Amino acid sequence: MDLNLNAEEKQFRDELRAWLSANVPKDWAEWREKPLEESFPYLRAWQRKLHEGRWAAVSWPKEYGGRAAPLMEQIIFDEEYSRARAPVLTGYSALLLLGPTLMYWGTDEQKKRYLPKILTADETWCQGYSEPGSGSDLASLQTRAVEEGDYFVVNGQKVWTSAAQHADWIFLLVRTDPDAPKHKGISYLLVDMHSPGITVRPLVQITGARGFNEVFFEDVRVPKKNLVGEKNQGWQVAITTLMFERSGGGGDRGVAGQIRELAALARRLPRGGATAWDDSAVRQKIAEFQCEAVALRYTGYRQLTRRLKGLPPGPEGSMMKLCATELNLRVQTFAMELLGPYSQFEYRAPFALDKGRWSYRMLGARGPTIYAGTNQIQHNIIGERVLGLPKG
C-alpha cells in the first residue's frame, strides 16, 4: 500500500491533531489508572466533548452523527488518538460494536432511538454474551427468553460483563429455541438495565478494580420491539458485533506508548551509580520490544491493504490480537524486573514509583489475553486458517 497521505487525508489529520491538542484534558494522566467507578463521570463528560467536536464516531454515516470518514481516515483517527494519549472512551462497546451492528441489523425505529445517545454517552451499554458455562463456546449459552404477549421474559445469568454497574442498557444474547441446534436458537435483545428483575454484582479483580460483573435476570420483561434481527437469528447478529470487536484498534493496540514510558522509566531508575538505561542489556531489551511494536503496526497496515482492496478481514486480526497482548504482558513483566523491590508496592502506595502504576498494569495485562477470543483460540485460528494444520 501507499503509506503517504493524500491532501484530503493530511487535512483530516491536521484538523484532528489541532483539536486533540487543544482539548485532551491535561489531568488525564492523573485519572488514567483510577478504577472505573471513580473515573466514569469524567469519561462520560469527555465523550460528550468529543461528540461536540464531531469526533466520537468518525466512520459513522453523517445521517447518524458521524463524518462518513473512509477507512483510511478512521485509521488516521485511531493513530492520532493513541498518539495524543487521549482518554479511553467509556462508550467504547456501543460506539464500536453495538452502533455499527444496529446500523446493519436494526430497524429504523431502533436506529433513531438508540444511536444519538450512544454518540453522546447519555446512555451507556454493556455486552451480555459470556455466561458461567459459555465463554469460548459462546453458542452453548443458556439464558432463556420466553415469549409472553408483546414481551420476552428473560431468566438466567451473565458473567464478566464489563461496566455493567454503570450501564443503562445491555445487548444480550438469549436462547429462544432450546430444541434447535445451538447456533440456531439464539436471539439478540436490547435490554434496559433499570428493568425490574436485574441484579448486578461487581467482581473484584486482582488489581482491586471492579471492572466487570455478574448480571442476574429474573423474570425480566423485554418489549418485543427490542429484538435485533429475526427471532432465533441472533447468532448472525452476534457475529457481526464480534467482527467489529476483533477488527478494532490499531496494529500495536497501544503497546508502543507503553514502551516509550518504559524507556523513560529506565532513564530515571538509578543503577550502580548511573541509570538502568546505561545498561546495554536494558536498552537491547527495550529495542526488541520496540521492533515488535513496529512489526505489529505494519501488520495492521497489511490488514488495512486487504480492506482497502475490498477483501474481507484476513487472519492478521488474530495475529495482532495474539502478538500485541503477549508483547504487552512481556513489557509489563520487564518493568517489574527493572523496578526490582519497588515492584512490590501496590498501586498508589506511598513511596511507590510512578504511583505504583506499573504493578497495576502488570496485574491487568492478563485480561486482554482472554477477552475478544482467548489467545489459545487465536492460536487455533492461526493454526487452522493460516498454517492449514489439521483440527485437533
Ligand X SMILES: Cc1cc2nc3c(=O)[nH]c(=O)nc-3n(C[C@H](O)[C@H](O)[C@H](O)COP(=O)(O)OP(=O)(O)OC[C@H]3O[C@@H](n4cnc5c(N)ncnc54)[C@H](O)[C@@H]3O)c2cc1C
Residue closest to ligand X (Cβ): 135
245 is catalytic: yes
- How many residues lie near ligand X (CB under 6 A)? 18
The least distance separating ligand X from the CB of residue 213, rounded to whole angstroms, comes to 9
Among 155, 290, 343, 374, binds ligand X (CB under 6 A): 374
Query: Phi/psi zone of residue 243: left (φ > 0), alpha (ψ -120 to 50 degrees), beta?
Result: alpha
Convert the chain into a string of H (helix), E (strand) and C (coil): CCCCCCHHHHHHHHHHHHHHHHHCCCCHHHHCCCCHHHHHHHHHHHHHHHHHCCCCCCCCCHHHCCCCCCHHHHHHHHHHHHHCCCCCCCCHHHHHHHHHHHHHHCCHHHHHHHHHHHHHCCCCEEEECCECCECCCHHHCCCEEEEECCEEEEEEEEEEEECCCCCCEEEEEEECCCCCCHHHCEEEEEEECCCCCEEEEEECCCCCCCCEEEEEEEEEEEEHHHEECCCCEHHHHHHHHHHHHHHCCCCCCCHHHHHHHHHHHHHHCEECCEEHHHCHHHHHHHHHHHHHHHHHHHHHHHHHHHHHCCCCCCCHHHHHHHHHHHHHHHHHHHHHHHHHHHHHCCCCCCCCHHHHHHHHHHHHCCHHHHCCCCHHHHHHHHHHHHCCCCCC
Among 90, 130, 226, 258, binds ligand X (CB under 6 A): 130
The least distance separating ligand X from the CB of residue 392, rounded to whole angstroms, comes to 8
**Span from 127-135, 196-204, 268-276, 294-302 in contact with ligand X (CB under 6 A):** 127-135
Binding of ligand X by 136 (CB under 6 A): yes
**Span from 47-55, 128-136, 140-148, 262-270 in contact with ligand X (CB under 6 A):** 128-136
Is 136 or 344 the residue whose CB approaches ligand X more closely? 136
The least distance separating ligand X from the CB of residue 374, rounded to whole angstroms, comes to 3
Binding of ligand X by 380 (CB under 6 A): yes
Q: Find the binding residues for ligand X in span 322-361 (CB under 6 A).
A: none
The least distance separating ligand X from the CB of residue 385, rounded to whole angstroms, comes to 14
Cell numbers placing 46: 469527555
Binding of ligand X by 40 (CB under 6 A): no
**Span from 5-13, 333-341, 355-363, 375-383 in contact with ligand X (CB under 6 A):** 375-383
Binding of ligand X by 376 (CB under 6 A): yes
The least distance separating ligand X from the CB of residue 376, rounded to whole angstroms, comes to 3
Q: Find the binding residues for ligand X in span 194-233 (CB under 6 A).
A: 212
Among 370, 382, 383, 384, binds ligand X (CB under 6 A): 370
**Span from 40-48, 149-157, 334-342, 365-373 in contact with ligand X (CB under 6 A):** 365-373
Is 225 or 385 the residue whose CB approaches ligand X more closely? 385
Binding of ligand X by 363 (CB under 6 A): no
Among 78, 313, 371, 384, binds ligand X (CB under 6 A): 371
Among 45, 263, 353, 377, binds ligand X (CB under 6 A): 377
**Is residue 387 packed enough to be buried (19+ CB in 10 Å), middle (13-18) or exposed (0-12)?**
exposed
Residues forming the active site: 245
Which residues of this chain interact with ligand X, rule CB under 6 A?
126-130, 135-136, 160-162, 212, 367, 370-371, 374, 376-377, 380
